[in-house]
Amino acid sequence: MRKDVFYLRILFAVKMLFKYIRDAVKELGFVTWPKNDVLIRHSFIVLAVTLLFAAAFWLVDGGMRYLVAQYIEATAPFHGTGTTLPETASGVNLGDIQVSGAGTDGIQIENLPVTPAGN
């Protein structure tokens, strides 16, 4: 493409942009703006509906969190034993975990100290 055609296209695009802005400002003159009392009333309605939906989502979220916690508690027999691995325990030797079959549900877990592999 030649330079003069390129510059003409740029000039046309800028001209169209300014025409669009000029027409948009002109159209804003035709808008019927609400009175202050209507604007304030509608703002309070929007605020009330927003708070209502926020409270509803908060309740649903809390209820779902409670139900999931109850499900985990009911289905995980060893959940909440107080034994937690440190976040840096990626090199844990699996030989540290021993299972023997003497518990009421057929499995008994014996917690041993966690030591990094190779130590």
Tens-digit pLDDT profile for the chain (119 aa)? 677 888 899 999 999 999 999 999 999 999 998 999 999 999 999 999 999 999 999 999 999 999 999 988 888 765 555 555 554 455 555 555 555 555 555 555 666 666 666 65
> Same structural domain for residues 28 and 76?
yes
> Same structural domain for residues 9 and 66?
yes
- Residue ranges making up the domain that contains 102: 88-119
CB atoms closer than 10 angstroms to residue 83:
10
> Same structural domain for residues 62 and 73?
yes
> Same structural domain for residues 100 and 59?
no
Query: What is the DSSP pairing of strand 108-110 with strand 98-100?
Result: antiparallel
> Same structural domain for residues 71 and 14?
yes
> Same structural domain for residues 102 and 118?
yes
Could you tell me if residue 80 is left (phi over 0), alpha (psi between -120 and 50 degrees) or otherwise beta?
Answer: left
Global pTM reads 0.42
**pLDDT given at position 107:** 58
Looking at this protein, which amino acid is placed at residue 113? P
> Same structural domain for residues 30 and 83?
yes
Number of domain units in the chain: 2
> Same structural domain for residues 50 and 10?
yes
> Same structural domain for residues 79 and 98?
no
What SS3 state is found at 108?
A: strand
> Same structural domain for residues 45 and 98?
no
> Same structural domain for residues 79 and 119?
no
**pLDDT given at position 24:** 96
> Same structural domain for residues 64 and 49?
yes
